[in-house]
Amino acid sequence: MRNVVIIGVGLIGGSFALALREAGFDGAITGVSSPATIAEALRLGVVDRGAPLEEACAGADLIYLAQPISRIIDVLYHLNPCVPAGALVTDAGSTKHRIVSTAQEHLTRCRFLGGHPMAGKELRGVGAADALLFRDRPYVLCPSDPAELDTEFVGWLGKIGARVVVLGAEEHDRLVAFSSHLAQLASTALAATILESSPESTQVAGPGLVDSTRLALSGYELWRDIFATNPAAITEALTAYIGKLEHLRENLRNRELAAEFERAAGLARQIRGQADRA
Amino acid sequence: MRNVVIIGVGLIGGSFALALREAGFDGAITGVSSPATIAEALRLGVVDRGAPLEEACAGADLIYLAQPISRIIDVLYHLNPCVPAGALVTDAGSTKHRIVSTAQEHLTRCRFLGGHPMAGKELRGVGAADALLFRDRPYVLCPSDPAELDTEFVGWLGKIGARVVVLGAEEHDRLVAFSSHLAQLASTALAATILESSPESTQVAGPGLVDSTRLALSGYELWRDIFATNPAAITEALTAYIGKLEHLRENLRNRELAAEFERAAGLARQIRGQADRA
């Protein structure tokens, strides 16, 4: 692996480039992004050069797609003629089924391996890129065949400190519908409910509400593509959550609530235990 | 104000005692708690002495009730014969309507002023007591008559750095039903839903889910009394929240979601702005 191309040099793409360098990669890293982003990425030493898509992909060993989901899908429609037959294309999109099936249909000249690093920051853009972003974080890979994992790219994921988790694309989308997409909608709905039904409540807001509304700060533009490409699993998760809230409402004053609190605290501790081990 | 009695020397009662001392109070502070708690409170210098309820209240100028809600209500049933006529009784319970109405009915020999400091910590008990716990945090007071605010106690709240917010007892309970009780149930329901419907999702948990399940770590014993004494407002808040989630589910793929995200982010920023100013 000598020539790496990062398409979309933002927080994730830029962090992947920095992490590769930090882990000892000494090949070339080419960025494909807007002129302003490429200028900043060059200034920060994130990429070695910028180039248009076709020029960048000629001679590439690894092509890393790190744009929003809809842009990744657009690129996959048009990438096939540009890629060398020996290249590996991978992506970092937040949903996988639509991306993986688009790649299977349109990317016939080279290999594809869908991915999703479970890492992020409140800040976006190449200015926030961080060589340690993936360290000790899950990095989901969705191979169509387990043999696809036997690549130099997967070896580099280990070297940058990521914890590889292998899932089917549809399985991935269902799991993140609960762990990520439902958590986002629960936080957005909480903030929107308070604003609509009891805006004066902000004067008695405590630290718990600050935690519970952190995700509500997220911008919609990041989420539009996720809702568009994972609606069935998100609808299932929302329906399960609404059912649980109705159950809590019906049992507000009896011991059933004690059991729900105990189970919920167990899961919350489990998540933290994984974070601590990580 | 020379003689202060703290009934329930835990995190809140102990912090109030330490905050008074830090602010220059040089009268006597007597604790009423279990022998083990009094021993620890004496060791930590939180109180000057421990005493049984009746003995402690004789000669008290301020009696500060800092137990769980149901214990505060129990004490209010029995406190009247023990209190000097010139004393002020106040409390730090998390719901106010039931406590204030119990005090109005049973505490006929002295004044009562219901209170609720919007402060806390993950740790409990006198060992976690902190002289700075109330600093820059809202401290709700629920007077039956505005003249009740003209007390030395309210002056000390200012000296310990609390931000006094005056609300009616029922108004307080409705506002915290949304800002605190709904946030708790939303977090508990999220963790319980994942455990029940998609437990494998924990392997792809990110930092957002850690934030959103922090409240789910809370123990039920703290919440039983809150659900028992504020069920109507909590039911109203849950119903509004369920309605909002149904609205998000119905509009998952259209621009209505953009408007909900924008409104929710506005509220989340507003809460943070207050925290920053505080």
Residue written as token pair 């200015």? A127
Domain B172-277 adopts which CATH fold? 6-phosphogluconate dehydrogenase C-terminal fold (1.10.3660)
Q: What is the pTM of this model?
A: 0.92
pLDDT of B275 strictly over 80: no
In this predicted structure, what is the pLDDT of residue B278? 46
A–B: how many Cβ contacts below 8 A?
324
Q: What is the mean pLDDT of residues B59-74?
A: 97
Q: If contacts are CB pairs under 8 Å, which of residues 181-210 in chain A contact chain B?
A: 182-210
pLDDT of A275 strictly over 70: no
pLDDT of B63 strictly over 70: yes
Mean pLDDT taken over chain A: 95
Single out the residue of B85, B79, B70, B84 nearest to residue B105, CA to CA.
B79
What the block records as the tokens of B229 is 């004494």
Q: Assess contact for B6 and B47: CB atoms under 8 A.
A: yes
pLDDT of A123 strictly over 90: no
In this predicted structure, what is the pLDDT of residue B12? 97
pLDDT of A278 strictly over 70: no
Q: Assess contact for A183 and A237: CB atoms under 8 A.
A: no
Interchain CB distance below 8 Å, A175 and B260: no
A183 min Cα distance to partner chain B (Å): 6
Interchain CB distance below 8 Å, A271 and B210: yes
Domain ranges (residues) in chain B: 3-167, 172-277
Q: What is the mean pLDDT of residues B58-79?
A: 97
B3-167 and B172-277 agree in CATH topology: no
- Closest partner CB to A271 (pick from B209, B228, B239): B209
pLDDT digits (tens, 9 = 90+) for A145-185: 888 898 899 999 999 999 999 999 999 999 999 999 999 99
pLDDT of A277 strictly over 60: no
A167 contact residues in B (CB cutoff 8 A): 204
Instruction: Compute the residue count for chain A.
Output: 278
**B138-142/B111-117 β-pairing:** antiparallel
Superfamily for domain range A3-167: NAD(P)-binding Rossmann-like Domain (3.40.50.720)
b/e for A49-61, b at 16 or more Cβ within 10 A? ebeeeeebbeebb
Residue written as token pair 């933002």? A10
pLDDT digits (tens, 9 = 90+) for A238-253: 999 999 999 999 999 9
Report how far apart the first and last C-alpha atoms of chain B are (Å, whole number).
28
A72 min Cα distance to partner chain B (Å): 19
CA separation for the pair A59, B243 (Å, rounded): 54
Q: Assess contact for B103 and B114: CB atoms under 8 A.
A: yes
CA separation for the pair B24, B8 (Å, rounded): 22
Q: Assess contact for A27 and A2: CB atoms under 8 A.
A: yes
Mean pLDDT taken over chain B: 95
In this predicted structure, what is the pLDDT of residue B31? 98
- Closest partner CB to B165 (pick from A172, A203, A257): A203
Single out the residue of B170, B155, B162 nearest to residue B62, CA to CA.
B155
A28 Cβ neighbours under 8 A, 6+ residues apart: A2, A3, A4, A48, A49
pLDDT of B237 strictly over 80: yes
Report how far apart the first and last C-alpha atoms of chain A are (Å, whole number).
28
Q: What is the mean pLDDT of residues B143-153?
A: 90
Confidence of residue A120 (pLDDT cuts 50, 70, 90): confident
CA separation, residue B157 to residues B30, B114, B160, B208 (Å): 18, 13, 5, 36
